Structure 1
Amino acid sequence: MREANLEIIKRLKAFLVQVKEDPSLRHHFTPPEAFTKNRKLPLERMVYLIISLLKRSLSIELEDFFQSYYPEHSCASKAALSKQRQKLDYSFFTLWNSVLVKSFYECYQQDVKRWNGFRLMAIDGSTAYLINKPDLITHFGVQSNQSTSIAMGQIMELHDILNDLTVCSAIYPIDISEQQVAYQWIPYLEPDTLTIYDRGYPSFSALYLHLEQEQPLHFVMRCRTNFNKEVIAFMSSVNTSQAVTFKATDIAIQELKKHGYRLTKASTIVVRLIKVKLADGSTETLITSLLDENEYPESIFSDLYFKRWGIETSYAIRKNNQQMEVFSGYKVNTVLQDFYAGIFVGNLQNILSKPAQSSVTKKTRGRKYHYKINKNVALGLLKRHLIRIFIEIDPEQIIIELESLFERYTEPIRPSRSYPREVKGKRAKGKYQTLTNYKRAI
Structure 2
Amino acid sequence: MLISRLERLGLGVLTRSCPPELVDRVVGDAGRSEKRRRLLSARFTVYFVLAMCLFPQADYLEVLKLVKTGDKGLRSWSGVNKSSLTRARQRLGWPVMRELFRSVARPLGADGELFRGLRVLALDGILLAVPDSTGNNDAFGKSGSQRSPMGYPQARVVAVAECSSHAVLDAAIGGFKDSERIVSDALDAHAGTGTLLLADRGLWGLARWHRLRDQGTHLLWRIERRKARRVQDVLPDGSYLARIEANKHSKAAGTVKAPPALVRVIEYRVDGQADIVRLITSLTDHEKYPAEELAVLYARRWEIELVFDEIKTHQRGRPVLRSQTPDGVRQEIYAHLIVHHATRDLLEEAARLHRSIAERTSFTRALHVVRRSVISPSGFSPLSPQEGPTPGTLRNRSQSAAPPKIP
Q: TM-score range by the shorter chain?
A: 0.7 to 0.9
Residue 333 of structure 1 pairs with residue 327 of structure 2: yes
1:276 paired residue number: 268
Structure 1 residues 238 and 130 mapped into 2: Cα distance closer, same or farther (>3 Å)? Answer: same
Q: CA–CA distance in 1 between the matches of 2:66 and 2:309?
A: 28
1:377 paired residue number: 365
Q: 2:138 aligns to what SS in structure 1? A: helix
Q: CA–CA distance in 2 between the matches of 1:321 and 1:194?
A: 28
Structure 1 residues 19 and 178 mapped into 2: Cα distance closer, same or farther (>3 Å)? Answer: closer
**1:314 to partner: Cα distance:** 0.6
Residue 301 of structure 1 pairs with residue 301 of structure 2: no
Structure 1 residues 148 and 248 mapped into 2: Cα distance closer, same or farther (>3 Å)? Answer: closer
**1:189 to partner: Cα distance:** 2.4
Contact 1:112 1:163 in 2 (8 A): no
Structure 1 residues 280 and 390 mapped into 2: Cα distance closer, same or farther (>3 Å)? Answer: farther
Q: 1:61 aligns with which of 60, 63, 79?
A: 63
Q: CA–CA distance in 1 between the matches of 2:354 and 2:270?
A: 31
Q: 1:290 aligns to what SS in structure 2? A: coil
Structure 1 residues 153 and 392 mapped into 2: Cα distance closer, same or farther (>3 Å)? Answer: closer
User: Normalising by structure 1, what TM-score?
Assistant: 0.72
**1:120 to partner: Cα distance:** 0.9
**1:186 to partner: Cα distance:** 5.9
Residue 312 of structure 1 pairs with residue 298 of structure 2: no
**1:45 to partner: Cα distance:** 1.9
Q: 2:221 aligns to what SS in structure 1? A: strand
Q: CA–CA distance in 2 between the matches of 1:9 and 1:170?
A: 25
Q: 2:152 aligns to what SS in structure 1? A: strand
1:163 paired residue number: 165
1:15 paired residue number: 22
User: Normalising by structure 2, what TM-score?
Assistant: 0.78
Q: CA–CA distance in 1 between the matches of 2:116 and 2:236?
A: 28
2:182 paired residue number: 180
Contact 1:128 1:152 in 2 (8 A): yes
Q: CA–CA distance in 2 between the matches of 1:385 and 1:62?
A: 15
2:243 paired residue number: 245
Structure 1 residues 240 and 386 mapped into 2: Cα distance closer, same or farther (>3 Å)? Answer: farther
Contact 1:122 1:195 in 2 (8 A): yes
Once superposed, what is the RMSD of the aligned Cα atoms? Answer: 3.6
AA of the residue aligned to 1:141: G
1:37 paired residue number: 37
Which one has more relative contact order, counting CA pairs under 8 Å at least 6 apart? Answer: 2
The runs of 5 or more residues in structure 1 that have no matched partner are 365-369, 395-442
Structure 1 residues 382 and 262 mapped into 2: Cα distance closer, same or farther (>3 Å)? Answer: same
Structure 1 residues 224 and 62 mapped into 2: Cα distance closer, same or farther (>3 Å)? Answer: same
Q: 2:281 aligns with which of 284, 288, 291?
A: 288
Contact 2:131 2:324 in 1 (8 A): yes
1:81 paired residue number: 85
Residue 227 of structure 1 pairs with residue 219 of structure 2: no
Q: CA–CA distance in 1 between the matches of 2:192 and 2:24?
A: 29
Write out aligned runs for 1:333-372 (5 A). 333-359=327-353, 362=356, 372=360
Identify the range of structure 1 (74-83 vs 119-128) with the bigger mean alpha-carbon deviation.
74-83
**Residues 159-208 of structure 1: CA distance to partner in whole angstroms, max 9, x if unpaired?**
11123210111221211111122344369722221100112122433333
The runs of 5 or more residues in structure 2 that have no matched partner are 385-407
AA of the residue aligned to 1:221: W
Q: CA–CA distance in 2 between the matches of 1:136 and 1:71?
A: 35
Identity over aligned residues, as a percent? 18
Number of residues of Structure 1 aligned to a counterpart in Structure 2? 364
Contact 1:12 1:100 in 2 (8 A): no
AA of the residue aligned to 1:88: L
1:48 paired residue number: 47
Q: CA–CA distance in 1 between the matches of 2:17 and 2:203?
A: 39
Q: 2:219 aligns to what SS in structure 1? A: strand
AA of the residue aligned to 1:306: A
Structure 1 residues 371 and 198 mapped into 2: Cα distance closer, same or farther (>3 Å)? Answer: closer
**Residues 13-34 of structure 1: CA distance to partner in whole angstroms, max 9, x if unpaired?**
32123356x5xx351x46x65x
Q: 1:220 aligns to what SS in structure 2? A: strand
AA of the residue aligned to 2:260: T
AA of the residue aligned to 2:370: L
**Residues 49-77 of structure 1: CA distance to partner in whole angstroms, max 9, x if unpaired?**
11012422223222232234222323721
2:141 paired residue number: 141
AA of the residue aligned to 1:81: L
Contact 2:125 2:159 in 1 (8 A): yes
